[in-house]
Structure 1
Amino acid sequence: MDFFGYAYAAAISLGGLMGYLKAGSVMSLCAGLTFGSLAAYGAKQISEDPTKIHILLFVSSVLSILMGYRFANSGKFMPAGLTCMLSLATVARLIVTRVLL
């Protein structure tokens, strides 16, 4: 079972929910739940077959680029910097795990 993938998915979903609760951002809620759900599906795929990293790799790559861009423009670590770092760590974990398989 891909516990790290599920934890990543939960963090993304909760981040979107927090953006909605703190700032009233419906876009944060929608994006967080969409990307979180896709990440959870990707973690499920990896849990069933460790070679099926494509969905989670795509989601974490897109989030690392988008949130990295937002972090570079705003300079604020929360939430863009944290999400970027979590996404980059997930990308690195998936690539290293795939190479070791």
Structure 2
Amino acid sequence: MGVEWFGFGYAALVATGGIIGYAKAGSVPSLAAGLLFGGLAGLGAYQMSQDPKNVLVSLIASGTLAGVMGYRFYNSGKMMPAGIIAGASILMLGRLGFKMLQKPHDT
């Protein structure tokens, strides 16, 4: 079992986005959402580090962010932050789909 570095990086990106949103615009909702979803993504990455097939929490966090931030990007056309987070979330969903399709390894 390896550490899910991609998942932890995604979690850090989401949490950092919330912190930057708060620092630049004073947006408490950005801070709360960033820390909540960053924490959920971090929990999901930890769970996947323990069991690569345990993707549910990561799937919920990245799927929700892909939908919400994708909608915001569609409406605003702004790459920061909506486009970046939507893109990263879609990549994470692709990775999770790949993980779910892999056959288990005997170790």
* Among candidates 4, 7, 19, match of residue 5 of structure 1: 7
1:63 — aligned with what?
Answer: 65
Runs of 5+ unmatched residues, structure 1 = none
Aligned sequence identity (%)? 48
Counterpart Cα distance in 2 of 1:51 and 1:36: 20
| Aligned-partner SS, 2:41 | helix
* Cα shift at 1:98: 1.4
Moved over 3 A (4+): none
* Cα shift at 1:25: 0.2
* TM-score under structure 2 length normalisation: 0.93
| Aligned-partner SS, 1:50 | coil
2:77 is matched by which residue type in structure 1? Answer: G
1:45 — aligned with what?
Answer: 47
* TM-score under structure 1 length normalisation: 0.98
Runs of 5+ unmatched residues, structure 2 = none
Counterpart Cα distance in 1 of 2:99 and 2:56: 13
Contact 2:53 2:99 in 1 (8 A): no
- The count of corresponding residues between Structure 1 and Structure 2 is 101
1:34 — aligned with what?
Answer: 36
Counterpart Cα distance in 2 of 1:31 and 1:97: 26
* Cα shift at 1:100: 1.5
| Aligned-partner SS, 1:36 | helix
Q: Which has the larger share of helix?
A: 1
